[in-house]
Amino acid sequence: MPTLPDHVKSIVAEIETDIGESAQENGGGAAGNGRSDGIEHAVRDILTEIGEDPDREGLRRTPDRVHRMYHELTAGYHVDPDRLINGAVFSVDYSEMVVVKGIEFYSLCEHHLLPFFGTAAVGYLPRDRVIGLSKIPRIVEMYARRLQVQERLTQEVADFLMERIEPLGVGVVIEAQHLCTAMRGVRKGGATMVTSAVLGQFRRSQRTREEFLSHLERGDKSR
């Protein structure tokens, strides 16, 4: 694992741990405070290529700022899934659907390195085990803070839950706006992309899918 600046280690620790926990209690975050100037050199080259002067006052610190920003926005690569879960899977005599919705996220499209952002809804049918409520938004955050496409982000969240808590089924729906569509190309601001991933009982049973979607629709009608 590469060494990380302190501000990135704090983001990794924030995703991995609950409020009140410490990174030390959970085995520590990524160690080290190494630094590479590769991103800064690349940003200077880009500024020069587009006709700017990277040494003028307003741009002098831009390469460093971009360096720090990209490390922050891709901190999910360094999150340890075991520390994120931290044993928060509990045996519970409960077999009805669990749904967490309205999970805000921000990610970077891997095609143009422009943001896409929106909300995720995650549902699962427990098989005698449930996961701590705060862990589901953290799972979304772990995968969102990487270079992504929305389809893969949706599938990764579903696969992770299916593997870690072995429920009867999982459903994930993500709705997002992409700045690569709004700012360039067709330039259609306000266009929304919706993706879904359904596993296990959510895939096999239309009734289960409909129940999941009904929970999401109730949220929309209350706005």
25 labelled catalytic: no
Q: What pLDDT, on the 0 to 100 scale, is given for residue 36?
A: 63
Query: Contact 79/15 with Cβ under 8 angstroms?
Result: yes
112 labelled catalytic: yes
Nearest CA among 105, 195, 119, 197 for reference residue 159: 197
103, two tokens: 């999970």
DSSP state of 183: S
- Distance (Å, whole) CA 207 – CA 199: 14
- 3-class DSSP state of 125: strand
- Distance (Å, whole) CA 169 – CA 111: 31
- Distance (Å, whole) CA 155 – CA 146: 14
Tell me which of 40, 71, 109, 148 is the catalytic residue. 109
Q: For the segment 71-108, what is each residue's pLDDT rounded down to a tens digit?
A: 999 999 999 999 999 999 999 999 999 999 999 999 99
Confidence of residue 23 (pLDDT cuts 50, 70, 90): very low
Q: For the segment 114-148, what is each residue's pLDDT rounded down to a tens digit?
A: 999 999 999 999 999 999 999 999 999 999 999 99
Tell me which of 112, 155, 175, 211 is the catalytic residue. 112
Q: Region 54-74: what's the mean pLDDT?
A: 95
pLDDT value at 20 more than 50? no
Confidence of residue 30 (pLDDT cuts 50, 70, 90): very low
111 labelled catalytic: yes
211 labelled catalytic: no
pLDDT value at 22 more than 90? no
Tell me which of 111, 151, 166, 210 is the catalytic residue. 111
Q: For the segment 155-196, what is each residue's pLDDT rounded down to a tens digit?
A: 999 999 999 999 999 999 999 999 999 988 777 778 899 999
109 labelled catalytic: yes
Mean pLDDT score of the chain: 89
pTM of the model: 0.84
Domains annotated for the chain, with CATH where assigned, are 6-81 (1.10.286.10), 87-221 (3.30.1130.10)
Tell me which of 155, 180, 211, 215 is the catalytic residue. 180
Number of other residues whose CB lies within 10 A of the CB of residue 25: 11
Q: What pLDDT, on the 0 to 100 scale, is given for residue 18?
A: 61
